[in-house]
Amino acid sequence: MKHRNTDNFERIIAFVNDWYKVNHNSPTGRQISAGTGIPLSTVQRMLNTMADNGTIVYEGESIITDMSRKANEETVPVGIIGNVPCGNLALEEEAVEEIVLLPVSLIGRGEFFLLHARGDSMTGAGINDGDLVLIKKQEEAHPGQIVVAYVEGEGNTLKRLKKNGNTLYLHPENPKYDDIPITDCRIQGIAVSITRKLKEKGK
């Protein structure tokens, strides 16, 4: 028969791991108590005990288990933060819709976000309306790269950065759209990859 303390330790670890899989952060002591039915004072005592014996790392509200540590090492949390126009510029409010974990082996390390492409100005680059575009967050880009750029007074747009002499401009990969000369814009990141749903035959 398991000792009651051992059973409670396992329940707390299991709850923390399940919480991390959904929320990608640590639960508070009160959330653990509410989720497991273990009194808060007991939860706090057991967290300290597990930290002392090396079962977890517990610093303030941060609880790191073997599972969450391994997940942090092998995956990167990436927020889906709305739409980016692939057409005419439009103002967009940045709002995280969802957080997904992507493997480091596929995207590398760094800070990333995902955007829903909207419009048809980048179809020549293989980016269609509705695609999810993975963006690596950075403030610099080289001519030839596809970038998310914020144009002052206009909003965000997804275009290819090009250079003609000393002049930089944003180039749509669709001949029905005009180039956008860069007079006042801010690079927010570069496109790394795209994801789209495959169409079923006959649809």
- Give residue 3's pLDDT band: very low, low, confident or very high (50, 70, 90): low
Q: Does 48 lie in the same domain as 84?
A: no
Asked if 172 and 158 touch (Cβ cutoff 8 Å), the reply is no
Choose between 202 and 183: higher pLDDT.
183
* Phi, psi of 172, rounded to the nearest 5 degrees: -80, 145
Condensed to tens digits (0 to 9), the pLDDT of residues 54-107 reads: 999 998 778 989 988 887 777 888 888 777 766 554 444 456 777 887 888 778
Per the structure, the complete domain to which residue 12 belongs is given by 4-64
The whole-number pLDDT of residue 102 equals: 82
Find where tokens 């995902």 sit: 114
Whether residue 200 lies inside any domain: the answer is no
In a domain, residue 202? The reply is: no
Q: Are both 149 and 83 inside the same structural domain?
A: yes
Domain annotation covers residue 70? no
Both 52 and 88 in one domain: the answer is no
pLDDT, position 109:
82
> Are 146 and 105 in a shared domain?
yes
Number of structural domains found in the chain: 2
List the CATH number of the domain containing 48. 1.10.10.10
- pLDDT of residue 203 exceeding 80, the answer is no
Dihedral of alpha carbons 175, 176, 179, 184, sign: negative
Query: Same domain, yes or no, for 83 and 38?
Result: no
Q: Look up the pTM and report it.
A: 0.62
Residue for token pair 């829903």? 116
Residue where one domain finishes, among candidates 64, 95, 111:
64
Q: How many residues does the chain have?
A: 203
The answer to whether the beta carbons of residues 160 and 143 sit under 8 Å apart is: no
- 88 and 169 inside one domain: yes
- CA gyration radius for the chain? 23
Looking at the DSSP assignment, which residues form a beta bridge with residue 116? 83, 132
Tell me the mean pLDDT in the region 146-173: 87
Residue 80: the pLDDT is 84
Mean local confidence (pLDDT), 132-144: 91
Strand partners, 189: 137, 148
Residue 91's pLDDT is: 43
User: Mapping DSSP to helix (H, G, I), strand (E, B) and coil, where does residue 123 land?
Assistant: helix
Mean pLDDT rounded to a whole number for the chain: 84
**Poorest-confidence range of 13-22, 54-63, 73-82, 161-170?**
73-82
Last residue of a domain, one of 64, 88, 106: 64
Task: Tell me the pLDDT band of 1, cut-offs 50, 70 and 90.
Answer: very low
**Active site residue ranges:** 121, 159
Residues 47 and 89 in one domain: no
